[in-house]
């Protein structure tokens, strides 16, 4: 099949932005580069937008909103159906693109990155169907109307998944959007824009401008004609966006950092709880804000847990992401690779017990951004590796004496995004889950649910994505008294 870069270049997408239904040349001359993490070689260059590009995209979205916001839900649902079908038809091309731009093993891109992204489109369409845009409350009509022009800033770790999690519900709600994908993984966003165009969304409803946070992101956040901004990224980036947005009093939704706990209760099936917990913590090479990278375990069974965890880590195959037997590819970018190496060194210097892994590349890999899956045990809550988001395949095993202490440890962080609880006695499992301050808690590793609202407590952000609550973020409430 056609390679992603060949496809984008042949169709004149690499050097353009999608604004007002057209592929337009950028106003500025600045360039960014996509580096293949598996080889550390530059794969291609692409234009970075400037304030003029942002203004053009926002203007197109603003012009399109009055008409789009009043379209019938059935019409919008039909377009989302077409978008879903087009993404499914392009799934292999997108998977290859994700492998190129952020190092995901191609098998993982095919089975997780792409299908889970498409699931957000279907979920938004399903929520839209039959959604009560008008509800009666006595003689008052309580209506929900699209908020307007939405700026959407997405990260590099789940490029398409984060795009569809924002764009699909925003479009379903009747909003128009300007998307700024990460400048480290912009290619899959171009493929998404192609699908939007082919699906037949009206001009200006969806717009894409590539660029960095300091220019394009800042301009979107402060823009007076943007009614809402949604960002997925680091807590630092979320704070910067909120500060830039404050003077215009726009709505700000933030899905930010995490340091998610995985509480393994004394009666849990250890073989399953620990081995699946390692896999969950290392999914996408730990480059997931909700990855359960703090495994909180009974101290009396610590040695047994360490042994199970080490065996689980040994089953991971790190290597060339294009090789079918590879389970985990390369870290997405050099800055993140260096961060992970630094934090592994910090864990060693802090005195945590190194169960497996460590600094440096895995054996036989002398180039590329490859990291050893690393597990620390006997980790204390005051250690940096227990408090800071590492965003890599680094698991901290933290022992506890009592369930009460386990809950305290789970909550001993500035974050509150995701959490897990494992155990046989469901009353206790549910009780522990109810006491963890996090926006989403998984009990005994359930299947992923695209309709389960996702978002954070504390410094993990505000607002919710996915399902019904994901669409509600893009709607305003209006009361019309005397309507009935």
Q: Are 151 and 223 in contact (CB under 8 A)?
A: yes
CB within 8 A of 307, min separation 6: which ones?
Answer: none
pLDDT per residue as tens digits for the range 273-284: 999 999 999 999
CATH architecture of 4-256+460-480: 3-Layer(aba) Sandwich (3.40)
Would the pLDDT of 396 be above 80?
yes
CB within 8 A of 319, min separation 6: which ones?
Answer: 325, 326, 329, 362, 365, 370
Average pLDDT value for the chain = 98
Establish whether 304 is a catalytic residue: no
Would the pLDDT of 2 be above 90?
no
DSSP alpha helices (H): ranges in 145-269?
A: 159-173, 187-199, 218-222, 235-245
pLDDT per residue as tens digits for the range 453-470: 999 999 999 999 999 999
pLDDT per residue as tens digits for the range 141-192: 999 999 999 999 999 999 999 999 999 999 999 999 999 999 999 999 999 9
Q: Are 411 and 424 in contact (CB under 8 A)?
A: no
Distance CA 391, CA 341 (A): 11
Around Cβ 71, how many Cβ atoms within 10 Å? 14
Distance CA 116, CA 214 (A): 30
pLDDT per residue as tens digits for the range 219-229: 999 999 999 99
Using CA atoms, how far residue 198 sits from 170, 191, 195, 474, in Å, is 19, 11, 5, 24
Q: Do domains 4-256+460-480 and 261-449 have the same CATH topology?
A: no
pLDDT per residue as tens digits for the range 36-89: 999 999 999 999 999 999 999 999 999 999 999 999 999 999 999 999 999 999
One of 101, 194, 255, 473 is an active-site residue; which one? 255
Would the pLDDT of 1 be above 70?
no
Distance CA 128, CA 114 (A): 22
Extract the tokens encoding 280.
């969950």
Q: Where are the domains of the chain?
A: 4-256+460-480, 261-449
Tell me the CATH class for 261-449: alpha beta
Establish whether 289 is a catalytic residue: yes
Would the pLDDT of 217 be above 70?
yes
Would the pLDDT of 432 be above 80?
yes
Sign of CA dihedral 380, 383, 388, 389: negative
One of 150, 215, 289, 396 is an active-site residue; which one? 289
Strand partners, 397: 295
């Amino acid at each position: 099949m056609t390679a992603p870069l060949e496809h984008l270049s042949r169709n004149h997408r690499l050097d353009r932005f999608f604004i007002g239904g057209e592929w337009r040349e950028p106003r500025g001359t600045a360039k960014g580069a996509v580096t293949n993490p598996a080889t550390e070689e530059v794969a291609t260059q692409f234009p970075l937008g400037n304030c003029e590009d942002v203004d053009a995209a926002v203007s197109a979205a603003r012009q399109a909103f009055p008409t789009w916001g009043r379209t019938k839900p059935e019409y919008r649902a039909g377009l989302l159906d077409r978008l879903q079908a087009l993404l499914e038809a392009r799934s292999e091309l997108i998977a290859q693109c994700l492998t190129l731009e952020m190092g995901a093993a191609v098998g993982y891109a095919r089975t997780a990155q792409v299908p889970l992204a498409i699931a957000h489109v279907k979920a938004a369409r399903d929520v839209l169907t039959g959604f009560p845009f008008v509800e009666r409350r006595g003689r008052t009509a309580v209506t929900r109307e699209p908020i307007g022009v939405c700026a959407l800033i997405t990260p590099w770790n789940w490029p398409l998944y984060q795009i569809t999690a924002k764009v699909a519900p925003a479009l379903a709600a009747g909003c128009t959007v300007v998307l700024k994908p990460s400048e480290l993984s912009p290619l899959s966003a171009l493929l998404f824009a192609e699908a939007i165009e082919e699906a037949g969304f009206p001009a200006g409803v969806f717009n894409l401008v590539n660029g960095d946070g300091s220019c394009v992101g800042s301009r979107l956040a402060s823009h007076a004609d943007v009614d809402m901004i949604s960002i997925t990224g680091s807590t630092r980036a979320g704070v910067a966006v909120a500060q830039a947005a404050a003077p215009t009093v726009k709505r700000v939704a933030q899905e930010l950092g995490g340091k998610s706990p995985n509480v393994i209760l004394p009666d849990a099936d250890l073989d399953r709880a620990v081995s699946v917990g390692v896999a969950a913590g290392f999914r996408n090479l730990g480059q997931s804000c909700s990855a359960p990278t703090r495994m909180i375990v009974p101290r009396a069974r610590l040695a047994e847990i360490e042994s199970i965890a080490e065996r689980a880590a040994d089953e991971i195959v790190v290597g060339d992401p294009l090789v079918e037997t590879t389970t985990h590819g390369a870290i997405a970018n050099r800055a993140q690779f260096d961060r992970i190496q630094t934090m592994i060194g910090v864990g060693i210097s802090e005195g945590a017990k190194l169960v497996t892994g460590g600094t440096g590349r895995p054996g036989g890999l002398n180039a590329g951004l490859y990291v050893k899956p690393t597990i620390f045990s006997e980790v204390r809550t005051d250690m940096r590796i227990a408090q800071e988001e590492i965003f890599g395949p680094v698991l901290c095993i933290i022992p506890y004496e009592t369930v009460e202490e386990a809950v305290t440890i789970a909550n001993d962080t500035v974050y509150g995004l995701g959490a897990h609880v494992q155990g046989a006695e469901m009353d206790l499992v549910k009780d522990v889950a109810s006491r963890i301050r996090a926006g989403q808690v998984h009990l005994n590793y359930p299947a992923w649910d695209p309709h389960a609202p996702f978002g954070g407590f504390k410094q993990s952000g505000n607002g919710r994505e996915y399902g019904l609550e994901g669409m509600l973020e893009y709607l305003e409430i209006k009361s019309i008294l005397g309507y009935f």
